[in-house]
Amino acid sequence: MAEEKREHPKVKSGLHPKNKHRERYDFKALVEKSPNLAPFVHVNKFQDESIDFSNAAAVLALNQALLKSYYNIDFWEIPEGYLCPPIPGRADYIHHVAELLSTSNDKKIPRGDQIKCLDIGVGTNCVYPIIGSQEYGWSFVGSDIDETALASAQQIIDKNEVLKGLVELRHQNRDKWIFRGVLTKEEYVDIVICNPPFHASQFEAETANLRKVKNLTGKKLSKPVLNFGGQRKELWCEGGEERFIADFARMSKEFANSCFWFTTLVSKESHVRDAIRAVKQAGANEFRILELGHGNKSSRILAWTFLSPKQQKLWAGFRWKNRS
């Protein structure tokens, strides 16, 4: 028996005001743009159109429809088993760091391909460069240690005319390095973004996945179903998110004068204090916490810069003038 239809808020207030995904999905419009989504759309027990978010194929089809409808992406395929990220959350990251840049630019978001972003761990999906280039015209360097991921991301770039000339991919061939080997000291980057591996082990990642599927669907599963996918290096690393961010902060110091803002997602609130301590120990001149809130989960972005206020003003005046 169907349950009574629920009343939903008109917008998802936790998402950034500029996020195009604040309203509930219009599945009719999405299917018109991307017919492959149609077989996965159903009316749920609350009499709402939805998909089964525990079904990896359904999540992939939804992402394809969203990217085509909102970001002009005609081709988007990723290898089986790799991370298929939730688009609204990725868009939120981009809009929050865009707003961060505006704080040094008379409250105007700098736009155009002169604005250069480094995406650490671009993955097979290339989603951050897609959203950032289409929303603000920014150019991207995407790095990854996984050559399969880079080949997939390059295929996405090659098959979408709107991405050509805006996204360059670089292979990081040293597991322990983040910036060195990807950036040269002569390059200038306006914003560094990163979605670090969250977990410290496969067991921790699988346990978290079981909990996520239960939150999304109400189903209690006995074994993990990776609806959003994910390879080992995408989901977990030695020491988990806490260790990764500490290394990230320490290594950022080497490029203190060639990158304006370094940012990383911090998914676990319990890791925030140690993350802040790490950027302070690295010698950051300023740090900020940008709060995110979407779905059943809240997280935050930690941003830091080594530039003094005077250097920040000079940077913005030189690189961003007349680019808003």
Domain ranges of the chain: 79-319
Q: Tens digits of per-residue pLDDT, 266-297? A: 988 999 999 999 999 999 999 999 999 755 56
Angle at 66 between CA 61 and CA 72, to 5 degrees: 115
Which pLDDT belongs to residue 138?
Answer: 98
| Structure-token pair, residue 147 | 């050559």
| Start-to-end C-alpha separation, the chain | 54
Q: Which amino acid is at 141?
A: V
Which pLDDT belongs to residue 238?
Answer: 63
If you average pLDDT over residues 209-223, what whole number do you get? Answer: 49
Q: Which long-range contacts (CB under 8 A, 24 or more apart) does 83-86 make?
A: 83/123, 83/124, 83/125, 83/228, 83/229, 83/230, 83/231, 83/234, 83/235, 84/56, 84/59, 84/60, 84/125, 84/227, 84/228, 84/229, 85/123, 85/125, 85/127, 85/195, 85/228, 86/228, 86/295
**Which of 298, 299, 288 shows the shortest CA–CA distance to 265?**
299
Q: Tens digits of per-residue pLDDT, 106-132? A: 999 999 999 999 999 999 999 999 999
3-state secondary structure (DSSP) of residue 298: strand
d(CA 214, CA 216): 5
Which pLDDT belongs to residue 206?
Answer: 47
Into which CATH architecture does domain 79-319 fall? 3-Layer(aba) Sandwich (3.40)
Which pLDDT belongs to residue 189?
Answer: 98
Which pLDDT belongs to residue 92?
Answer: 96
Which pLDDT belongs to residue 220?
Answer: 52
pTM over 0.85: yes
For the cut 50, the answer to whether the pLDDT of residue 234 exceeds it is no
Res. 8 pLDDT band, cuts 50 70 90: low
Q: Tens digits of per-residue pLDDT, 130-183? A: 999 999 999 999 999 999 999 999 999 999 999 999 999 999 999 889 999 999
Which pLDDT belongs to residue 46?
Answer: 74
**Which of 5, 21, 12 shows the shortest CA–CA distance to 135?**
21
If you average pLDDT over residues 221-249, what whole number do you get? Answer: 62
